[in-house]
Structure formats: structure tokens, C-alpha cells
Structure 1
Amino acid sequence: MLFSYNSLAEPTPSAVKLQKDALKRNELENFSHTDINALIANRTLFCDRLLIELWHFFGLEREGLTLVAVGGYGRQEMFPLSDLDFLILTRAPVTEHRAQKISRFVQFLWDCGFDVGHAVRTLADCEREGKKDISIATNLLESRYLSGDKNLFAELSLLLRQQEFWPASAFFQAKTAEQRERYQRYNNTGYNLEPDIKYSPGGLRDLHLVYWLALRHSEAKNLRQILDSGFIYPEEFELLEQCRDFLFKVRFALHLILKRYDNRLLFDRQLKVSQLLGYRGEGNSGVEAMMKAFFQCLQDISTCSDILVKHYQEHFLAASTSAQTITLDQCFIAIDNEIRLLDPYCFQRRPDSMLDLFYHLTCYPDMGIHSSVLRRLHLAVKAFRGYLSDIPTAREKFIRLFAQPKAIERAFVPMHKYGVLNVYLPQWQGIKGLMQFDLFHTYTVDEHILRVMMKLESFAGGDNQISALCTDIFSRLSDRTLLYIAALFHDIAKGRGGDHARLGARDVRSFAEQHGFDRREAETMAWLVEQHLLMSVTAQRRDIYDPGVVRAFAEQVCNKVRLDYLICLTVADISATNETLWNSWKRSLLESLYQYSEQQFRRGMDNLLDQGEKIEDNCRRAEALLREREGDEIMQRVHHLWRNYPQDYFLRNNPKQLAWHTAEILRAEQPLLVRVSNRFSRGGTEIFVYCRDQSHLFHKLVCAIGARKFSIHDAQIMTTAEGYALDSFIVTELNGELLQKDRRRLLEQSLLRTLSENNMPNPVLSINPKLENFQVGTEVRFLHMNKREHTELELIALDKTGLLATVSRVFCDLSLNLLNAKITTVGEKAEDFFILTNKKGVALDAAERTLLEQRLRDALA
């Protein structure tokens, strides 16, 4: 039995709080077996009874005022943390006496713990403020009488119904402008992995938009009344009602577990909400099942809302001017740049005509789809059984799309939105709305795939913002269709268990055979899908200055054609995964690997790259820069200095870095130098440290850098023959941006203090609260164990504050020398690569490796 408000002879905030708490406990107890609309109606009634009682208790019923519920409260959509929004309506400006009564009434509600949104207005105020602000106007349109002067409320209702209050066209423009602005805040997709139940595209606000348009047009105030008014079809009513109830349940559950108002389904909340909704399963399967249903609801609401908004605009606002008509084929005609159906049953009789619709969109860049066609398409997709790819003519039309201009934007994105991809590809159903419970991916799998394809298409459009190299390569590709299809399949096997890249490669081979590609084309697509992570892993987690690493990578790629395809797919994949993931540092790594691989292909696989030429070229160009800046007289000191430097130093630094380092060292007054600059390293802020080598140097540096909250991407550790350290770090802010001037100077000062002190800093491992719900097992892998000169270590662990400092402390304790490090953070996961030697300066033996692995596991436990 649901809890109801009990009248109090002498209301007090403490007594009301007790009832509020009892209501919430009752909602928790009844949530799993009570209809969500009953819970919402019960809470709304609780608030109604309380406000009406207090209205009388404070003597406001005798003052000629009217109490009106507005906004979500007016719609009777009250959730546990909803604001209590109401209007106090008055015929004349309130006297001081009335103002004091109203103040006590509102203060009492605040003291009870309600978040109150209220206004005191005359009818003239309502008209003036409502005409100025669409949000106020919308709130007023949803007004509901609670208590007081009924005649005054009737006058308000009459005022709001007047056409001049908000003309239909102006109201429509204002509300759709709000929607566009809201969509932009969420990157025009509801498929964010931490969505907002209310404001994400497809969320409750899209449903409210339908309500508001219907309310302004016919005064219908809920879905049932909208159906009765003829504004929506019965099938649309059933779908919207089902989706609304699910989102209501998710939002109600979220509010039950939170203390403060919020509608975001953050990772740390999703598990608790899914449990309240009854989702169970091992690991994250319950969460993923709930979120899959959630994203399906968002898509259905977004689609229906889109159709109904277009329908409203076409039938009640837009007036045809030219009636220009173009016959597109036997199924479609275009009138005033809107595609319409010649045969209303075309999609049922010829299902492959669904693909013709999107083909026409690519042929006419200014053309849209009429709402009547979208409605027919939506119903046809829902009713379709089987897969369009089983129809030979549909297969021809599907492949034809890839060669069209703006094919991804104009065809594949809307095909996904309106469900056509779901009935074309058998594998699409498995990834539709499939979330990935991690901090690395921002979008669901299906949304990510479409965004990868969009990034590829941006290369075709000459967009150099992501990568000028990829834009150039893409313009020269002989067959872009293969690359688009590889992108379509690269993550399509996620969520099935097993290696998604191998399973996806198997899927694309079947697709290629079914769609008539030859063996070479099929193998190219399958290889791209299976190896779509190869270039990313090699560039970010391997030593790409090692000729052996480059040759091994080139051997796996086989030829330059595949290399061209792979770098475009890799860059598109990374930049479409997370808005903050792609940066110039990653671009520089991938482009360097591409260039080295090109050189390897030209040289032949039988020969390692000769880095001697690269070293000589870097030195020659650095000398030229130094002569230009410092004059010829400095060169003798330069050569004397360089004579003691290891050859690797000249390979791993570009000429600008070499000239910068050298000039700073020669100008230094003491053998302790720290410089931080954005000018000389591609893609990050470089920290250069020159000092007498000292014990635990790397550990001290990473502790100091970590304390300033910077991300370390690369570390280069070198020592001259005279015992001086030449250490470089590439860092960025946590969001991937370069360090600003004040941050660079503070970091320099902090590092100088650290190096001047003899104490050994003790890192403190702490987990970001956002990571508490993630489990990442620590993995320690030793690579290329046949190498005698050094040991390569790959470490995967949960990212924690102080992680790198803790790892370096282990190296110190075991007297290991760190030569190089690549630091990669992938969401909640750290994937780091280290090159080490033991205290004898050679690779670790088996016993040393075993001990190192155990110490790392113990330290990171």
C-alpha cells in the first residue's frame, strides 16, 4: 500500500520531514512491484495535499490569491528529487502583509527540505514575462489549479489560449531552437555512455516537446489526450507510452538512490539503478542489459519525436510556395525538396526500396524526407522480419551507397537512426545500444562505428583538423568502399565474448562473399578488421625508434596499400572514441610510425632501417639552427658537448629539440637545468632535465610531475659518457591540452626543488572515486625476451593517482635502470611500456623478471 500525506493539526517542518522520509522508504519498498505511474501520481498527490494544507494553514486562502502548479509539477510528473514549482497568482501587486505570509509559506517548504521554484505574478505579469521568455510561457501552459481563486485561474487559462500570447509558428521555432541547442550540448547523440535521462537526445525532453506542441495546438495534456486528438497514430502512442514508462522508472530509481537532484546516469550509479530495476547477471551484464534497453528507448523517442515535429511543421505551419515536383523513381517523388511516397505500401511490397530512399538523399544534398514517409518507414522497419541483406537487389543498392557523395552523413547515419541498418545487417542487432562499461569509450558501440565512418568521410571532404596526412592519403585511395566497410565491421563483434577483432574479421569475410567482393578485397577488409588496433598499440606502447619494432610492424602490414588504409582507420577510430582522446601527441606518434614503415617498404624487409642516416640528418639540421641563432663561434663547444652523448639521443629528438637542449645547456650557469616548453616537441609539452645523474632520479621526477596533476605520455632516460642525465618527458594537462605559461613556470620551480633535495619521495596510491566501480586486473608482460641488451616490460593496471611513481619506486628498490617509457591511459586502465636493464646494464634474467613481476603486483594490489 502506498504512503499518503496525513494532515497535521499543527504542521511543523520536522513533522513534514518525517512524512517525506516515510514516503521515500515506502517508494523503495514498493518500487519493484508497483506501476511507475502510480508511484509518480502518489508523490504528486502527496505534494498537492501538503501544499493545499499549508496554503490554508498560513491563511493564504483568505487573501484572494491562487496557488497553481507549473512545469513538471503541473504535468503531475513528480519524482523523489523533483523541484516543487508553483505560481502564486494575484489580481494586484501583493501588499507587504500578503508578501510576509507568502514568504513564511515558501520558507516553511524550504525548511521541510523541498527545492522550491516559485513566482508571484499578476495576470499582466504572466502575459509580459511569458511573451519575453519561452521557458516561462511553457511552464504557464502546463499550469494546474491547486487552491484559491478559481476564477482567477480561469482567466489565466483564457489568456494562455489566446493566439497572440505565443503564435503557433513562433512557439514552434522557439521550442525547436531549444532542442537544437540541447542536442549540441550532447554531441547530437543520446548514445553517450553516461547519458542524461531528461536532456540527452531521445530523453524525456524530446517527449515533452511533443507534449508542448500538442498542448499549444489542441490543449492535449498527456499522451492519451494527444492520441485522442489525432496527433499521433495508435502504434506511436503504444511505443511512446512504453518508452516513457521505462524512462520514468529509471529516473525514479535514480532519484531514490541520490541525495541531490541530478538526472545523469553516471557509471557509479548505473549498477545501483539496474539492481533496483531487477536486472541481474554476472559482472556488468545487468548494467549492460539495462542500458541497452535505455538506449533503445532513447532512439525510439528520438525517432518518433522527429517524425511528429516534422508532421506538425508540415501540416500546421509550412505553406507550400512553389510546389516544385521531381519524380525520383516509381516509389518516390519530391515536392518542395521533401521526398514523398508515390505508393504508400512501397516499403512492404518492395523492402529494398528503403535503401532507394537514402540513395536519393545522397543525390540531392538539400532534400529532406517528408514526415509521412518517415512514419511509413518506421512502421515498416518495426514489422519487417528477416534481413534486407538476403535480398539480392538490396545488396546491390547497399554497396552502391558507399560510392555516393556524403554517403555516411546522408545515408548511413539516418539509416541507423531510423532502424534500417538493424534490418539490413544481422550483426547490428547485437551492438545496437550496446554500452561499454569503461571510461575509455564515450559512446555505445553502434554510435562509435557510425562516428568512425563519419571521421573517414571528413578526410574525403578535405578536413585537415584531425590529420593532414590522412586527408592526403584518403584523397588518393583507389577504393574507399573497402575502408568504409572495414570501419563498419571493426567493432561489430563486441559483446559476444572472445576476440571481437577476429570475430569481426570472420563476419566481414561472410559479408564480402555474400556481396560479391573478390578474394583480394575480402582479405583486405578482413585483415583491416582483425588488425585495426595494431598501429595504435605499436605507436603508443612500443619503441618505434627501434628498427626491429618498425620491421616487425611492416611485416604484419605487408604493403603500402594496407598501411594507407590502416592509418586512416586507426586515426578515425581513436578520434571517434572519446572527444578528449585524440591529440597532436598521438598524431605525431602515428605519423612517425607511418613514415618509418614507408621507409622500411622502400628498403625491403631483408634490411633493418639504417638509423645512422636519420641521426646524421638530425645533427646537421640542429647545427644549422644553432648557427642561425647563436653564431658560428658556438659550434666548437657544441661538438665537444655532443661527443659524450649517446647516439640514441640524436635519433629520438628532432633537430629543434636538439638545438633547444644544447643552447640551454651551454647557457646554464650550473649543472642543474629544468626547462618546460611547448615550442619544440610535437603534440605535447616537453620537460627537459639536465643534471648530474643521481640515484632515483626518474622516481623523483615522476613524483613531482604527478603531484602537479599532469598526464605523462612519454619518458626518455639517457646518460652522457660524463655522467649527466639527459631526461625528457612529454606531458599534457589531464584533458590533453598543452600547459599554459604559469603552469610551466610552476612546474619548473617544483622540479628544481625536488632535484635539489636528497629525500626520497613516497608516492601514495589513491583511487579516483570515479574508478571505484571498475575492476582492472594487473598484468605484467615481458616482451621480446630474446634481447640481451635490455628488457621490455608491458604493465596493465587500474589507473590510480601515484601509479607511475609507485612503479618507479619498485624499479629503484630493485636497482633497475629505466631507459625509456611510454605511458598510456585508456579510460580507467593504464597501459604502460618500459625498457629496463639491471644494475649490470643488461637485460634481466629469469629470476630478476620473476621478482620484478611479484613486486609490481604487491605494490599495485
Structure 2
Amino acid sequence: MQTLTPTHIKQQRELLKQQELDNFAQADINLFISHRTLFCDELLCQLWQHFQLDQSELTLVAVGGYGRQEMFPLSDLDFLILTAQPNSPQLEQKITDFIQFLWDCGFDVGASVRTLAECDKNGRSDITIATNLLESRYLCGKRETFEKLTALLQRADFWPRETFFNAKLAEKNQRYQRYNNTSYNLEPDIKYSPGGLRDLHLIYWIALRHSNAMTLQEILQSGFIYPEEYEALKLNQQFLFKVRFALHLVLKRYDNRLLFDRQIKVAELLGYHGKGNVGVEQMMKRFFQALQSISSLSDILAKHYREHFLLAQTAVQMPSVWLDTNFIIQNNAICLVDENCFIQQPETILDLFYHLTAQQQAEIHSSTLRQLQIALSQLGQPLSKIPLAREKFLRLFSQPNAIVRAIVPMHKYGVLTAYIPQWQDIEGLMQFDLFHVYTVDEHTIRVLLTLESFLQSETEHNYPICHQVFSTVADRTLLYISALFHDIAKGRGGEHADLGAVDMRQFAQQHGFDGREVTTMAWLVKQHLLMSTVAQRRDIYDPEVVMAFAAEVQNKVRLDLLLCLTVADICATNQTLWNSWKRTLFTSLYQSTLKQFEWGMDQLLDNQKIIEEHREQALAMVQNPNLEQINTLWQRCSDDYFLRHTAKELVWHIELLENIVSQPLVKISNRFSDGGTPVFIYCQDQANLFYKVVATIGAKKLSIHNAKISTSIDNYAMDTFIVSELNGDLLKFDRRRDLEKSLMMALNSDKLPTLSIPINPRLRHFQVKTDVRFLEMKKAEYTEMELFALDKAGLLAEVSQVFSELKLNIINAKITTVGAKAEDFFMLTNAQNKALNEMERNQLAQRLLARLG
């Protein structure tokens, strides 16, 4: 570094980066980080002399991550310039030139200039400044001033240990809330996600404030952590360091988020390879396991510090209460009587979580958790192999708040993996798509939490039927355990529901369930996607569809269990998926199936009766009905119109059409909303009508959930589209009026709307094979078609263009988006208003495959 110009320094940094890239596969990550730190140390000390700051009374101090000697390719260069007294204007200019030079070299500089008094004052008032100062490391300048700073920071009244600990813990809790209190978000932040580097730093900071230990080795030597904990922390820290270093090498700007596109590049750099997404999934599985391990150890060590170094000095010792021969509760913490209990009697591990459900305000003492970790590492067989453990495991599910108080902490501390052998396969298993938000194990835990939440009165508004049904389920244990296994076979290849059903049957038999219960649990796992598929991708107004679904379900008990599992599964997949539209779909299918059971399985539901009910209900709701006018309108409508529209919608149409002056008519209102915002269009049928509507709606960045296409006998379209905002919300007033105007312009124009298809950059990393499937070939009235494709913008409009080119009519459409994948259902007729023949189906499939790729 003899030549001190920004250009030369930039070249040196690029050379260093290239060397790191060339040697990364066989890298010792600690050596890389120390080289980075040394590079910065040497540069700053040379510049200190270059700008003649060495001739002053100033001191240059590395702080924060730089102070910890954790320098990554895009890390901020954080330092403090320490002065004993206010600086002269000439010295201030030298400091400014020094800092500006570093900016010109391309560093992101975090610099502060403070006196000792300012360090004292600012550090006491701001925990972030105090933490940075505690990690101070001398670089150059007047060492005596640095030693005074060190003495100041070590004073007992500068952030007393308990105050410091509570402040850092509050920071951690706020950070966890930003990430939904889970390490298992599929696009995690290496630094801030639960279990990330900030959790490691928390351990460092606690130890640093307590005993001035600055490294893991020093923390071990201080006796604060066990050797086993040291090895686990060291191993996982090295992995996170390597992932973060690789991420910084592939990015141009500072960021610590492992977004999907970055995961691919980082996995390659770390040497993870395989067909498709195998390399990414392997890397991320190891990454999530590291996060979970660090999160658990961070939690245990924070508990340990509070109990042994803070509360021990001030808390009033309450009398111990015996819970059983192995456990006592002391100061609201569950403690072991004999620390070897878990090793000598592994089944007592389940007793720990039973007591946690029985003592709703209690916590697990850190010493108990540490003994638990040691015992789990020494287990010779799965806990479920022990008959007494099986009894204790099943007992948990009959306890109040069993999921929150037992299953969640069992997952957190590795007990589920120790109990269910297959759980290890899904632990940290990511799903490389835009649909799932969590890893498979975290998703499963959230399914269980959602099920348990159905018992709470607060959930009645969003899940009215589930709240009602789940409260009456006779044995919720069956459903809880089925939920545990519903995705247990993901990642193995093959149909995960089929493979999971086999595992479920074996587990249920092993745990002594009777034949009926075993069959029900295996069926729930095997068919856990059935209700979702039927409700969202089938014509639930078709009596044959309802009959087939009811025949598979067989009885109300199974229907109730499947409904609750399905809704919980959807909600735990992605928080944005559940909305009022889906609630309407599942409610309708559930009620239709109940009617089928009541009607009997030897005959189809009578749609004519449903049609008459809708008509009668509508007439009863109309104020001062003009029966002659209504009958004239209804005589123009097919039976399907009355079947697929609710009584509220029929009333709305009557109000709109009884005094209509001109058409087209476009009306959008939430007054008759039943799960989405209905868009009603009335006009003389015209070519490309469906395309005009969906292209216009798509241009407004709205989601289309359903299309009810009705054509009167005198060739008038009476179409209803159910739409929502992208997040599932109903359309507000301004959005409704704007869409009405745009649709009117499109319908009145001879020109087709321009199909604007903006590219979603996130989709370029996902491959979805276009697939066209035709269902129920025997139907003569219409053809049912499923389309699977990449959910790009304008997809529905492109599909409708193909329908128009082939002169096909759309009777109904259901639009479902599963992350990057569209799973759409259409009911079609040909130009003769009949089902498509084989040649027409083949032609349609070929055209769609050619258009969509």
C-alpha cells in the first residue's frame, strides 16, 4: 500500500476480492476475515500518517464489527477518532480529508469524533453507542487516551450489568418480532434473523460486559459456556461467517438478506451442487439448522446469565414446590432434582413439557435446558421407541395450550427430532418457491398453532366454521398428530402425501390407536390437499363434484377434521393466502357436503331445489318487487345463472337492470360482497369480451378469483368477476370507480386493450412447466380444464386470447395462485355451446403450450 490514491486502493480491494473468489472453495474463513481486518488496519494507520494525524493528540479506535475484527467484503468501516479536547479548525480539516479519502476509496464509513466526556455522555444515553464502544480496539494514535476510554467503559455505573442485559434482550425481542419469531423464513437475513449473527453477538456482549471476554475462546475460559456449547457455537458461527462472506462477494451493495436469486449464487460458491434446486436446498437446510442451534443456545445462555448472575443477587428465594420425584419449581422455573435424570430415564424428558403445560406461567430453568441438550446428544434411540415415553407424549395433547406450551418448545429445543425420527428430514427443509414463507418444519408447527387458535373466541370472525367445528371435535389428538405428519415426507421424492400416510399409519399403530383412528389419521395425511383442490379448482356447484368429494370423505367426522386441517394448512403456508373469498369457497363446499350426507349418498343433490331457494330468497329480499318485470328478466336467464349467484347477487342485479337505460353497464360494489369485490357487467355479447375484462383488471394490478359467465337467451352477457387487491383486501371506493371507467372504455372500444406484461424479476429464478389437463371427459355440456403455468403478469389475458382465437366460450373460471405458479380452472364450450371433442381439446392444449412456453 505504498501508493495512497483512491484509484490504487480500489485496485487493491478488487485484487483482494478476486483472490478470495479464486480460493473460496478451500477457504479458511477465519483467515479470510483476519486478512480483511488486517488490510483495513494497515490502510487506516498509513492514512493516519499520510494526513499527519499522527502528529496530533488524537487516537484512532476500531469499533463495532470492525472492533470485533469481523470484516467482510461489504462491511462498514466503523471507527472512532478520540480526542482529549475540542479540535482546532486545522485539525478538523485533516480529519475531514481523512474520512473523505476513505469514502473516495469506496468504503462505507461509519466515523465519529468524540472527546472522552462525549463518549461517556453519549454512551450512557444510547445502548447502541455503548455497545460499539465496548467493542473498541486500539489502532493508532495516543494510547493513553484509549486506556482512559477503556477505564471509563469498565466503570460499574456505565451501563450496569443488569441494565445492559435488559436493554440488549429488549433489542433481541424487537428483532425477533420483525421476523415473526422464527429462524425459518425462506429469505432470511444472515445478521438479524432469529439465530443469526446478532444472536451470537448477544452472547459476546453479555460476556464482554460481565468479564471483558471478547472471543468465544475467552468466553469458554471464563466458564460462561460448556465445552459442548462452545463447539456448537463455533461450528455454526463458522458456517454463518462463510455464507455471509460469500454473499458479500456476489453483491455490489451491502445487504445481508439471502434472497432466492442470491441463494443460488451463494450455494455455488460454497460448493453445493445438484440437479435443479438440490444444491440450494442442501445449503439452506444447513443454514437453518445453524440458526436454530444458535437461537436455542442464545436463549439458554441468556436465561443462565439472568438466573445465576442477576436474579441470584437480588431475588427472594421462594420455597421449592415438588412437581414429581424428578422436578421441582423454584422461583417460577422448572428445575431437575437430579441432573442425570434425562440421561438415566429419557422418558422423563416428556414430563418436563407436561409440567410446562400444567404450570402455565412457569419457564424452564437454564440448567434444566442445558442438561436436556446434553441428554439429547447422548440418546441411543428415538424416544418413541420407549413405551412409557409414548404414553407421556400422547398425554401432552389433552393438556391446555398443548401446542404453545409443549410442542413449540419441544421443536425449539430438538425434542421433536429426538422423538419422531422422520422430523430430522424436514428440519430446516426449505421450499424454493414464492408460495411458502417458512421451512417445512416451521410450517408444520404453525399449522398446529393455527389449529389450537381455533379454540379462541378471537378467531371466530376470520374462521367462523373452524371455530365452531374444532370446539366440538371429540378427540383433537387425532388431528394434532395428523397435522404433525401431513408434510413429514416432503423432500424425499414421490408424492409426499402418500409417503406421509404410510409414516402416519406406522406411528399411529405404534402409539396404540385403534383401527378406525389409524385409518382416519392416515387418510387425513393422504388427502390433506383434497378439500383445497376441490374448493379452489373444481366446480363446487356441480352435484357430481360434491358427490365425489362426499364419497371420498365418507362422514361428518372426517369432514370436520379435514376442514380444520385444510384451513390451518393454508394459513400457515403464507399469511396473505387466507381471505374472505377463500372463506366463502370452503364454507360453501362444507355446507354442500353436509347436505349431501343428509340427502343420502344414493342420489345427487337436487340443484333445482337450490335454484328455487335462491329465487325465493331473492324475491323476499327485494323491496316492493315488480314481479312482472323480475319474471321478464329471469325468463331470459339459464338455470346456471341462479345456481352460481347468491340471493344477494340476484337482488343486486334486479336493482341494476330494472331501470336500465343504456348498456354496457358496469357496476362494482362491496354491498353484496361475499368474499371478494364483485364486478358485474351487462352488455350485448361481443367478441373478446372476456379478454377485454381480464386485461383491464390485470392492468389495475388486481387479483381475479372467480368469473361467473352467464349469457341470456337473447345473447346478453351477465358476467360477474370476483376481484380483490393483491393482498386480498376488498376494493375501496376510488379503486372501484376507476375500474368501472376503465372497463366501460374497453367495452365501448373496437380496439383490444394493449397487453402490458411487466417482468417480475423474482420469477426469473423459478421454473414452472406449463401443463394442460382435461377433467371429466364424459360431460356433454361443457369441458373442464386445469392450467398450470408460471404466474406471470397478463397470464389470464393471454389465455383468454387463445380461447377467442379458437372460438371457445367460458362458462366459469377459478383463478388460484400458488407462489410463482398459477393453477387455474376453466369450464369451456365450443362454438356450438357443447363440450370440446378430442380434436378441439388437443388443439387447445397445443396452442396454450405454444403460447405460454
Give distance in 1, aligned partners of 2:365 and 2:411. Answer: 18
Residue 764 of structure 1: CA displacement? 5.2
Q: Residue 761 of structure 2 corresponds to which residue in structure 1?
A: 769
Contact 2:696 2:742 in 1 (8 A): yes
Which residue matches 1:719?
711
* Structure-2 change in CA distance of 1:677 and 1:166 (3 Å): same
- In the other structure, the counterpart of 1:3 is none
| Residue number among 669, 674, 682 corresponding to 1:677 in the alignment | 669
- Say whether 1:419 aligns with 2:414: yes
Correspondence 1:848 to 2:831: no
- The offset of 1:281, in angstroms, is 1.3
Residue 260 of structure 1 and its aligned partner are, at CA, apart by 1.0
Whichever residue aligns with residue 204 of structure 1, its letter is L
1:637-648 equivalences under 5 Å are 637-648=629-640
Aligned partners of 2:699 and 2:756 also within 8 Å: no
Number of the residue aligned with 1:396: 391
**Within-5 A mapping of 1:361-380:** 361-380=356-375
Contact kept, 8 Å, 1:193 with 1:436, in 2: the verdict is yes
Paired residue for 2:428, among 421, 433, 449? 433
8 Å CA contact 1:435, 1:445 repeated in 2: yes
Find out whether 1:461 has 2:453 as its counterpart. Answer: no
Q: TM-score, normalised by structure 1?
A: 0.97
Residue in structure 2 matched with residue 98 of structure 1 by the alignment: 91
Paired position in structure 1 for 2:206: 213
For residues 71-112 of structure 1, what are the alpha-carbon distances to aligned partners after superposition, in whole Å with 9 as ceiling and x for unaligned?
111111111111111111122233332222222222221121
Q: Distance in 1 between matches of 2:754 and 2:171?
A: 52
Please state whether the residue corresponding to 1:33 is helix, strand or coil.
Answer: coil
Aligned to 2:132: 139
2:801 and 2:409 map into 1 onto residues whose CA distance is 53
Bigger Cα displacement from structure 2, 730-739 vs 297-306: 730-739
Instruction: Please report how far the alpha carbon of residue 762 of structure 1 lies from its aligned counterpart in structure 2 after TM superposition.
Output: 4.9
2 CA distance for matches of 1:47 and 1:67? 12
Relative to 1, partners in 2 of residues 1:50 and 1:668: Cα closer, same or farther, differing over 3 Å? farther
1:637: how far off?
2.7
SS in 2 for 1:772: helix
Question: What's the CA shift for 1:755?
Answer: 1.0
Q: Percent identity among equivalent residues? A: 61
Alpha-carbon distance, 1:14 to partner: 1.2
Distance in 1 (CA, whole Å) between partners of 2:148 and 2:580 is 62
Q: Describe the SS at the equivalent of 1:576.
A: helix
The answer to whether the Cα contact below 8 Å between 2:707 and 2:721 also exists between their aligned partners in 1 is yes
Between the aligned partners of 1:549 and 1:810, the Cα distance in structure 2 is 27
Distance 1:152 1:465, change over 3 A: farther
Identify which of 365, 377, 382 aligns with 1:387.
Answer: 382
Residues 716-736 of structure 1: CA deviation (Å, up to 9, x unaligned):
111112222111111122222
Are 1:823 and 2:818 matched, yes or no? Answer: no
1:19 aligns with 2:15: no
Structure 1 residue runs of 5 or longer lacking an equivalent are 1-5
Which residue is 2:29 aligned to?
A: 36
Residue number in structure 1 paired with 2:141: 148
The TM-score with structure 2 as length reference comes to 0.98
Q: Offset at 1:612? A: 2.4
Counterpart of 2:777? 785
- In the alignment, the residues of structure 2 paired with residue 385 and residue 544 of structure 1 have an alpha-carbon distance, to the nearest angstrom, of 51
Q: Distance in 1 between matches of 2:141 and 2:715?
A: 88
Amino acid at match of 1:161: Q
Once residues 343 and 465 of structure 1 are traced to their aligned partners in structure 2, the CA distance between those partners, rounded to angstroms, is 48
Equivalent position SS for 1:793: strand
- Which one-letter code corresponds to 2:201 in the other structure? H
Partner of 2:813, secondary structure, is strand
Following the alignment from structure 1 to structure 2, what is the Cα–Cα distance between the partners of residues 570 and 73?
49
Deviations, residues 370-403 of structure 1 (Å, cap 9, x unaligned) = 0001001011112212111111101111111111
Cα distance in structure 2, aligned partners of 1:116 and 1:761: 51
Candidates 324, 331, 334, aligned match of 1:339: 334
1:359 Cα deviation (Å)?
A: 0.5
Match of 2:543 in 1: 547
What secondary structure sits across from 2:705 in the alignment?
A: strand
Counterpart of 1:215 in 2: which secondary structure?
helix
Q: 1:282 matched to which residue of 2?
A: 275
User: What residue in structure 1 maps to residue 803 of structure 2?
Assistant: 811
Could you tell me how far apart the structure 1 residues matched to 2:568 and 2:144 are?
63
The answer as to whether partners of 1:765 and 1:806 remain within 8 angstroms in 2 is no
Q: Is the 8 A contact 1:67 1:147 kept in 2?
A: yes
Which letter does structure 2 place at the counterpart of 1:288? E
- Give distance in 2, aligned partners of 1:673 and 1:498: 50
Q: CA deviation at 1:613?
A: 2.7
**Cα-to-partner distance string for 1:570-600 (whole Å, 9 max, x where unaligned):** 0010000111111111111011100000001
SS in 2 for 1:544: coil
Residue in 1 that maps onto 2:580: 584
CA distance in 1: counterparts of 2:395 and 2:528, whole angstroms:
25
Taking the aligned partners of 1:843 and 1:616, their CA distance within structure 2 comes to 26
Give the distance between the partners of 1:743 and 1:53, measured in 2 at CA. 61
2:339 counterpart letter in structure 1: P
Distance, in Å, in 2 between the alignment partners of 1:71 and 1:636 is 81
The farther-off stretch of 652-661 and 265-274 is 652-661
Alpha-carbon separation, structure 2, partners of 1:590 and 1:113:
56
Task: Return 745-754 or 97-106, whichever deviates more.
Answer: 97-106
- Between the two proteins, the alignment pairs up a number of residues equal to 850
Q: Distance in 1 between matches of 2:110 and 2:632?
A: 75
Task: Report Cα offsets for 1:653-679 as digits up to 9, x if no partner.
Answer: 222222222212335431111122233
Aligned to 1:483: 479
Deviations 1:599-636 (A, max 9, x none): 01000112211222322232233233331xxx44x444
One-letter code aligned to 1:474: F
Deviates more, 1:634-643 or 1:391-400: 634-643
Q: Which amino acid aligns with 1:32?
A: A
Please say which of residues 210-219 and 435-444 is displaced more in the overlay: 435-444
In the alignment, structure 1 residue 312 sits paired with structure 2 residue 305 = yes
**In the alignment, which of 348, 364, 370 is matched to residue 353 of structure 1?**
348
2:164 maps to which residue?
A: 171
SS for the counterpart of 2:773 is: strand
Contact kept? 1:823, 1:833, Cα under 8 Å: yes
Matched residue type, 1:543: D
Give the one of 302, 321, 324 matched to 2:319. 324
Q: Distance in 2 between matches of 1:465 and 1:570?
A: 18
**Is 1:767–1:799's contact at 8 Å kept on the other side of the alignment?**
no
2:646 aligns with: 654
Take 1:845 and 1:764, find their aligned partners in 2: how far apart are those partners? 33
Query: Is 1:609 the counterpart of 2:605 in the alignment?
Result: yes
- Match of 2:492, as an amino acid? R
Moved over 4 A (4+): 764-767
Return the alpha-carbon distance in structure 2 between the equivalents of residues 745 and 173 of structure 1.
52
Shift of 1:684: 1.5
Match of 1:836 in 2: 828
Q: Name the SS for the 2:399 alignment partner.
A: coil
Tell me the distance in 1 between the aligned counterparts of 2:802 and 2:297. Answer: 58
- Verify the 8 A CA contact 1:202 1:298 in the aligned structure 2: yes
Contact 1:44-1:76 at 8 Å conserved across structures:
yes
- The 1:666–1:149 alpha-carbon spacing in structure 2 relative to 1, beyond 3 Å, is farther
Matched letter for residue 281 of structure 1: G
**What's the CA shift for 1:773?**
1.4
- Deviation string 1:317-358 (CA, Å, 9 cap, x unpaired) is 113324131111121111111111111101110000100100
**What's the offset of the Cα at 1:813?**
0.5
Q: Is the 8 A contact 2:285 2:427 kept in 1?
A: yes
> Which amino acid in structure 1 is aligned with residue 347 of structure 2?
D
What one-letter code is carried by the residue in structure 2 that aligns with 1:223?
L
Aligned residue number for residue 179 of structure 2: 186
Once the two structures are overlaid, the 10-residue window that deviates more, 670-679 or 526-535, is: 670-679
Pairwise CA distance, 1:842: 0.2
Distance 1:667 1:228 in 2: 87
